Amino acid sequence: MSVAIVTGSAGLVGAETVRRFAAEGLDVIGIDNDMRAVFFGPDASTAAAGRALQRTVPGYRHVSGDIRDKEAIERLFAELGKSIVTVVHTAGQPSHDWAARDPMMDFTVNAVGTLNLLEATRRHCPDAVFIFTSTNKVYGDRPNGLPLIELDTRWELDPAHPWAVAGIDETMSIDDCLHSLFGASKVAADVLVQEYGRYFGMKTASFRCGCITGPDHAGAKLHGFLAYLARCAVTGTPYTVIGYKGKQVRDNIHAGDLAGAFLHVLVKPRCGEIYNMGGGRHANCSVLEAIELCERLTGRPFAWTYEEASRIGDHIWWISDVGRFQSHYPDWRYEHDLEGMLGDIIEGVASQLQTA
């Protein structure tokens, strides 16, 4: 028996990973206790997605556990032992706005929960591949110091800058900048994952992701850029554009493309790796551009207002350079583009509303 443990298994990335890894013949055990509903309210609950996995994925076993519970994690890993071939850690508190409300919970979920999983892996299945969904927020607001040029619908990096063609790479410093409390908790987790790889020789990879999306995303006001935008577009809910004239740029990667990257790491793991991972130059947009695309796809105006004050630590411009990952795994390819992703999300929201 070869087992994959997936934390946050009912979430966007977790559920996609469960399906992908199960399709490869792995027995998948998911750990998820629907904390997303605690963070963002009942509309963001992943409970239904968890039940769907249990109905549709053969051999899937769901554990309603909390990664902060060290003893429970220890018992599960002791039970499975070296049959665990990979741990894909997608659980976490994902909002830098929410983190300021309860810094203790944010840190214990993101940092201590990650440490619990790393230590259980080291003790019971040290040869397992440990994959972590980190965030580009580990770089804090340092990207805002890049030389940006204001265009009609977006901020853009000065063409003379070496990162203008492909995006920001992993050489950007994480020091001497404002991270937000969420960024700080994810830095701690990110560095722990690296250190367990480099210090203990474990097979670890930390994916510093931009915006992750897909039709199954339970988008909320504080997290889930395209998914929440699409929900507002379909329902007519007014949307608030926060700061930077709405020209702030995000890259977007489909959860399926990210789960595909995880599979490549599982097949050919390395120790202590970090990868910037997002839509890159392949799929990126400003908030204004995303609103225009929503209007075009739905065929109706999008209701929005503007709030001048930007969010603390928010990025003005982020596009990931995925070249490091592609150099290690040259067979990996994007399967989804921006318009296709947003169109699928809009269709998914409309379908959910019709069946509600």
Report the pLDDT value the prediction gives residue 313, as an integer from 0 to 100: 76
pLDDT higher than threshold 70 for residue 356? no
* Position 354 pLDDT exceeds 70: no
Domain extent, residue 330, equals 3-355
pLDDT tops 70 at residue 56: yes
> What is the average pLDDT value for the chain, to the nearest integer?
94
pLDDT value at 97 more than 90: no
CB 289 within 8 A of CB 295: no
pLDDT value of residue 355 = 62
The pLDDT assigned to 221 comes to 62
pLDDT by residue (tens digit) across 146-168?
999 999 999 999 999 999 999 99
CA dist 132 and 269 (Å) reads 13
R_g over Cα of the chain:
19
The per-residue pLDDT for range 210-263, each reduced to its tens digit, is 899 988 766 666 556 788 899 899 999 999 999 999 999 999 999 999 999 999
Residues 123, 200: contact at Cβ < 8 Å?
Answer: no
Q: Could you tell me if 342 and 226 are in contact, meaning their C-beta atoms sit under 8 angstroms apart?
A: yes
CA dihedral 117, 139, 149, 214 (to 10 degrees): 10
Mean pLDDT of 61-81: 97
Confidence (pLDDT) at 32? 97
Tokens 């999306």, residue located: 213
Count of domains for the chain: 1
Q: What sign results for the dihedral spanned by CA atoms 136, 141, 147, 151?
A: positive
pLDDT tens, 175-209? 999 999 999 999 999 999 999 999 999 999 999 99
**CATH value at residue 73:** 3.40.50.720
